[in-house]
Chains A and B, each alone.
Chain A
Amino acid sequence: GAVVSQHPSWVICKSGTSVKIECRSLDFQATTMFWYRQFPKQSLMLMATSNEGSKATYEQGVEKDKFLINHASLTLSTLTVTSAHPEDSSFYICSARWETQYFGPGTRLLVL
């Protein structure tokens, strides 16, 4: 149990385009999901906390207009990177809370 999926697993896009990443809890309902970013050889940095039916809470320094988060149901949260630039290239990981946080497999984003 407690499986979290992410889609896509990797994406390459041109600078200036927008990319949407989906995070789904497959066998449980999650009122809270989290979005992290991880750069090579670094730890996970929390970007935002996503609560079903309400606005996401962003960490200091994370631009909410650039990283749009939608948590429309108890099993789905989406992260949209708007007007992506090369510096947004990173490994994006979501987690869903059920007793503890269970993580998705991650999405590798490369912006050219």
Chain B
Amino acid sequence: SQKIEQNSEALNIQEGKTATLTCNYTNYSPAYLQWYRQDPGRGPVFLLLIRENEKEKRKERLKVTFDTTLKQSLFHITASQPADSATYLCALGQGAQKLVFGQGTRLTINP
């Protein structure tokens, strides 16, 4: 069955450093991969989408890589700030159909 694993349940990073989150998947061939941010008691907020034929995507301080050979995506936040503290979810999709979500990584940026 499809399995998506985000490397750690929780990650603590010092402010100003680069936070790197990992998303691995098995038994799946996604056409695209997305990253969302979720704050407590709120719905997920879309951050970035990367397609299977793309290696890297950037948006301001965010960078996502997608390696379909390793079946892995890395999500980087550079110059991290306490306001970046949240749970980050990766999600895989094919076409216009449903997304399959990882369990999330709770990121805390310490001042």
Contact = CB atoms under 8 A, between A and B. Distances in A.
Interface of A: 2, 4, 6, 32, 34, 42-44, 46, 49, 91, 93, 95, 97, 100-106, 108
B98 A103 contact: no
Contacts of A97: 96
A93 B36 CA distance: 14
A103 B96 CA distance: 15
Contact of B99 (A6, A93, A101): A101
A106 B42 contact: yes
Given A44-B101, A101-B34, A103-B46, 13 more contacts: A43-B101, A43-B103, A44-B44, A44-B89, A46-B98, A49-B98, A93-B44, A100-B34, A102-B46, A103-B36, A104-B43, A106-B42, A106-B43
> Secondary structure of the A side of the interface?
strand
Contacts, number: 44
Interface of B: 34, 36, 41-46, 49, 89, 96-104
Given A34-B98, A97-B96, A103 B103 contact: no
Contacts of B34: 100-101
B96 A32 contact: yes
A10 B110 CA distance: 31
A93 B98 contact: no
Contacts of B36: 103
